[in-house]
Amino acid sequence: MSPTPPSALRVIRQDVQSMHAYAVQDATGLLKLDAMENPFGLPPALQAQLGERLGRVAVNRYPGERINDLKRALAVHAGLPVGQALMLGNGSDELISLLALACDLPGAKVLAPVPGFVMYAMSAQLQGLQFVGVPLTADFELDEAAMLAAIAEHRPAITYLAYPNNPTANLWNADVIRRVIAAVGEQGGLVVMDEAYQPFASHSWLSEISAHPERHAHVLLMRTLSKFGLAGIRLGYMMGPEALIAELDKVRPPYNISVLNAECALFALEHAEVFDQQAATLRSERARLLTALAAVPGVKAWNSDANMVLVRVPEAQKTFDGMRARGVLIKNVSKMHPLLAQCLRLTVGSPDDNDRMLAALQASL
């Protein structure tokens, strides 16, 4: 490989050069339980039907009306409230980046509880916005006083609330969220409710938005088909008041969703009952996993409303390495934030996956 001349690097922003790229762990030969993926593939009959359908897609044409068909199908699937519109992203990650782009006014800031999803901070930094992280409490609840103080001080353009949160997997107190939403509204900012793990959660904020639209005129709600079972097709969507979505949609690349991704998503929505059953299985497995973890000495597991479980062990790195050596890949989050000291994040898998993960965990402690 030829060396890069120093003169070429000079044109790349210094803050970008000092950043770390988003890391994806090598899972070759390992049971992959590090990324909250659905472990279940399509049944063979549906695989054949999908393959035939994708073969008929006009890949020689730019995406057109079929994208609008997908938006309408998602609106029905999600129960889009009256007066709201929907926009699509190449995964939720692109929507997060587009929000930073659209709100990049001089001095604009992005605020979110931490620990949380790393892309909130990364997208802000890439767009040149200041990111303000507000630590959660020791038991991973919203620190209401700290949140309200930070909102008053920083007047954030965007406040992210993950519901449930990643990597802690919990739903925060609804009354606190209501007061945070009101405080952001008084400052003239946007709130983004990120419901990436909605198929596994006991509550959705969409019911609050539908019941009280006047309190949520500045609130956007994001979801993704990744946790629905389609992480590979990269499709996220965001719902919000029509006027807001109309403005945000202006910064979206014109053909950001491929015709193949759209057709896959439409096919999946037509067979939603298959994915609903998979989610039900994972919720049941999550309960079994939590019960089993409660019986393991030295392990503390937090309750979960997602398809992951956060655990604290005596030595996170030793346990992570031991599990990897036994063929099971999980996520070591212990260095992400001081509140996550000695914590690991376990993806809820199939019954066999979870049995292997539990055995590897117990053997690695």
Query: Closest by alpha carbon to 306, among 192, 161, 195, 221?
Result: 195
Whether 221 and 360 map to the same domain: the answer is no
Q: Choose one of 255, 270, 285: the last residue of a domain.
A: 270
Q: What is the pLDDT of residues 51-84, one digit of tens each?
A: 999 999 999 999 999 999 999 999 999 999 999 9
Q: Are residues 264 and 301 in the same domain?
A: no
List the CATH number of the domain containing 354.
3.90.1150.10
Q: How confident is the model at residue 4 (pLDDT cuts 50, 70, 90)?
A: low
- Asked if 65 and 26 sit in the same domain, the reply is no
Report residue 13's pLDDT band, with 50, 70 and 90 as the boundaries.
Answer: confident
CATH number at 64 reads 3.40.640.10
Secondary structure class of 85 (helix, strand, coil): strand
- Are 17 and 112 found together in one domain? no
Q: What's the Cα-to-Cα distance from 277 to each of 140, 200, 274, 283, 287, rounded to whole Å?
A: 30, 11, 5, 10, 16
How confident is the model over 273-301, as a mean pLDDT?
96
The rounded distance, in Å, linking the Cα atoms of 347 and 361 is 13
Residues 200, 112, single domain; the answer is: yes
Residue 90 located in a structural domain? yes
225 and 347 both lie in a single domain? no
Confidence of residue 239 (pLDDT cuts 50, 70, 90): very high
pLDDT digits (tens, 9 = 90+) for 135-151: 999 999 999 999 999 99
Q: Is residue 53 part of a domain?
A: no
Last residue of a domain, one of 244, 270, 296: 270
pLDDT band at 2 (very low <50, low <70, confident <90, very high): low
Q: Please report whether residue 51 resides in a domain.
A: no
Q: Say whether both 101 and 146 belong to one domain.
A: yes
Q: Once rounded to an integer, what is the mean pLDDT over residues 306-319?
A: 98
Q: How far apart are CA 332 and CA 328, in angstroms?
A: 12
Helix/strand number for the chain, H first, E second: 14, 13
Residues near 159 by beta carbon (within 8 Å), at least 6 away in sequence: 110, 111, 112, 151, 180, 184, 189, 190, 191, 192
> What is residue 226's predicted lDDT score, i.e. its pLDDT?
83
Look at the chain and report how many structural domains it folds into: 2
Q: Is residue 118 part of a domain?
A: yes
| Structure confidence at residue 3 (pLDDT) | 64
Residue at 49 is within a domain:
no
Cα–Cα distance between 224 and 94 in angstroms, integer?
11
Domain that holds residue 282: 6-44+273-364
Span 242-285, pLDDT tens digits: 999 999 999 999 999 999 999 999 999 999 999 999 999 999 99
The pLDDT, as a whole number, for residue 10 is 86
pTM (global) more than 0.85: yes
E strands present in 25-165: 31-32, 84-89, 109-114, 130-135, 158-162
Query: Above 80 in pLDDT, residue 7?
Result: no
Reported confidence tier of residue 5, pLDDT bands at 50, 70, 90? low
Residues 31 and 64 in one domain: no
Average the pLDDT over each of 10-24, 38-52, 294-308 and give the range with the smallest value.
10-24
CB 153 within 8 A of CB 356: no
Q: Is residue 245 part of a domain?
A: yes
Higher pLDDT pick, 24 / 271: 271
In a domain, 54, yes or no: no
Q: Report the chain's mean pLDDT, rounded to a whole number.
A: 95
Q: How far apart are CA 181 and CA 192, in angstroms?
A: 9
What pLDDT is attached to residue 346? 98
Based on the domain organization, do 128 and 238 belong to the same domain?
yes
Does a structural domain hold residue 134? yes
Q: What is the mean pLDDT of residues 171-187?
A: 98
Banded pLDDT at 46 (limits 50, 70, 90) = very high
Among residues of the chain, what percentage have pLDDT more than 70?
98
* 134 strand-pairing partners: 113
209 in the same domain as 292: no
Residue of 302, 304, 325 lying closest to 312 (CA atoms): 302
Residue at a domain's end among 220, 246, 270: 270
Look at residue 248 in the predicted model and tell me its pLDDT.
97
Q: How confident is the model at residue 19 (pLDDT cuts 50, 70, 90)?
A: confident
pLDDT tens by residue, 82-114: 999 999 999 999 999 999 999 999 999 999 999
pLDDT confidence band for 15 (50 / 70 / 90): confident
**Is the domain of 165 the same as that of 20?**
no
Do residues 336 and 218 share a domain?
Answer: no
